[in-house]
Amino acid sequence: MADYIPLTPEAIAQIQEETAKDPTLQQLKLIILQGWPNKNNLPPDLLPYYSYRDELVVQHNIIYRNDRCVLPKSMRANTLQKIHSSHLGIVGCQRRARECIFWPGMTADIAAYVGQCKVCQALGTQQQKETLTPHQIPSRPWSKVGLDIFTLSDQHYLITVDYYSNFWEIDRLDSMDSATVIRKLKSHYARYGIPSTVVSDNGPQFASDKFKDFAKTYQFDHITSSPGYPQSNGKAESAVKTAKHIMGKAKITGSDPWLSLLDHRNTPTAGMQTSPAQRLMSRRTRTLLPTTAKLLKPQIPVDVLQELATRQAKQAHYYNKTAKDLPRLQPGQAVHIQPLNAYDHKWKPATVQRQVNIRSYDVTTEDGRLLRRNRKHLRATPATTKPKQQTTQIKTSQQSRITPATISKHTETTNVACSKRVVKQPAYLKDYVV
């Protein structure tokens, strides 16, 4: 056996020496040579080997499971370090170890060791996407609006979009300060009314004290999305994408961009019977297309909420096919933060302070900074301590060493009933007829 396993002669000699010093393996060796007793009569340290009893042999003072040597406990920590020396993934390290060595729980030990590797945690890959969490559909127009600032042709613009109607306004910003943004929003609020909720990112224009005072004075709730996660304000991001396409094409063709915006606002939305202008103003607005006076009269659209709910459910259905929710984090839990800088790939360790909303957390870094991040940007750090294994104590005067006499004694004094497996017919055979 020693000639076939991929180990050096020095490693084999070390395994022989450490096996001779390991009391558990010496007990296991005696059991293999003299025969296995009933499972209930085994010492706790040998119970994990019972499932592999038909695969265990002893040759040249080394215990083998098939063509893999059973590693003594004193060598396992150093072996884990060697297995993960190239910082392969969990599955790669497990495949590598299964070629030549074995010990009970080796797969779990490798997974725990790789999970606690600081280098692998710092250079981790991007996490999977989570299932879609759509915003609640507003019950009326202009009750919930989203804000975002974008740049096009070296010019800055503010976009304000209604979550109910998908009607959006564009304002060119001469300055990027909060006062300019507030002035533009006041004109929209005077025209359409004050919304109940405003959603934006954490830009300096929206995170300033002036904007907080503005929200307090105009009595609306200001909700900010997670930094580096624009998807949580997807309505505004989608409006920015559409606005850039319309304005960019108008510039290339030399057409009037305002007429393009007018046509977009009067075009029925896909999957719905109404346009953004109809859902916001309950009427169509006049365009350059021939339109009868009857169509321009006010008419309250019906079934808007049902249509919006259907579109939202359809979008979530297809999005969630390749998504999976991540476990919720608890205060005080150790995590690693994904860097938002595209040129920085090193995840930083941090500690969770509190949960801000459904998928946003406040975390504290090692240097004491308080940051807010989305759950997607936080990878839970595995615990450094393993849970204590519960073992059944067997009362014997020679528990450290097992002999044929003690095996006979255990057989006489121990009588534990084994649980029986319930055999049930598979459900797919319920209609089977012989």
Question: Which region among 95-99, 125-129, 179-183, 412-416 has the lowest average model confidence (pLDDT)?
Answer: 412-416
The one-letter amino acid code at 417 reads: A
**Residue 122 or residue 249, greater confidence:** 249
Going by their DSSP bridges, the two strands 101-102 and 68-70 should be labelled as parallel
pLDDT above 70 (res 431):
no
Three-state DSSP state, 260: helix
- Average per-residue pLDDT for the chain: 85
Question: Residue 309, SS3?
Answer: helix
pLDDT higher than 50, residue 173? yes
Q: What is the pLDDT of residue 432?
A: 60
d(CA 312, CA 78): 54
Percent of the chain with pLDDT over 70: 87
State the DSSP string of 170-196.
EEEES--SHHHHHHHHHHHHHHH---S
What was the pLDDT predicted at 301? 85
Q: Which of 52-61, 71-80, 316-325, 420-429 has the lowest mean pLDDT?
A: 420-429
Residue 183 is predicted with a pLDDT of: 96
210 in Cβ contact with 182 (< 8 Å)? yes
d(CA 300, CA 280): 10
Query: For 135-163, how does the pLDDT look when each residue is reduced to its tens digit (9 = 90+)?
Result: 888 999 999 999 999 999 899 999 999 99
SS3 at position 398:
coil
User: What is the per-residue pLDDT for 389?
Assistant: 43
What are the φ/ψ torsions at residue 389 (nearest 5 degrees)? -85, 135
* Residue found under tokens 């759509």: 134
Taking phi over 0 as left and psi of -120 to 50 as alpha, with beta for the rest, 142 belongs to: left
**Where does residue 282 fall: left (phi above 0), alpha (psi -120 to 50 degrees), or beta otherwise?**
left
105-127 burial string, b = 16+ CB within 10 Å, else e?
ebeebbebbbeeeeebbeeeeee
- Residue (of 283, 392, 367, 358) closest to 47 by Cα position: 392
Confidence of residue 6 (pLDDT cuts 50, 70, 90): low
Q: Determine the residue type at 301.
A: P
Query: What is the residue whose two structure tokens read 């507030």?
Result: 182
Are 52 and 106 a contacting pair, CB within 8 Å? no
- Tell me the per-residue pLDDT of 367-392, one tens digit each, with 9 for 90 and over: 899 999 999 899 988 765 444 444 43
Is residue 277 within 8 Å of residue 167, measured between CB atoms? yes
- This prediction has a pTM of 0.67
| pLDDT tens, residue by residue, 99-117 | 889 999 999 999 989 888 8
Token pair of 422, please?
């319930």
Mean pLDDT for 27-42 is: 91
Indicate the pLDDT class of residue 397, thresholds 50, 70 and 90: very low
Q: Which strand (E) or helix (H) includes residue 157? A: strand 155-162
Q: Which pair of structure tokens corresponds to residue 37?
A: 């007793």
The CA distances from residue 147 to 177, 195, 202, 244, 366, in Å, are: 14, 12, 11, 15, 33
Look at 275 and 426; give whichever has higher pLDDT: 275
Q: What is the pLDDT of residue 421?
A: 58
Cβ proximity of 248 and 224 under 8 Å: no
What radius of gyration, in Å, describes the C-alpha atoms of the chain? 34
Mean pLDDT confidence for 1-27: 82
Taking only the tens place, the pLDDT of each residue in 65-88 is 988 899 999 999 999 999 998 888
Tell me the pLDDT tens digit for each residue of 203-227: 999 999 999 999 999 999 999 988 8
Lowest mean pLDDT among 132-141, 260-269, 276-285: 132-141
Strands 197-200, 144-152: parallel, antiparallel or unpaired by DSSP?
A: parallel
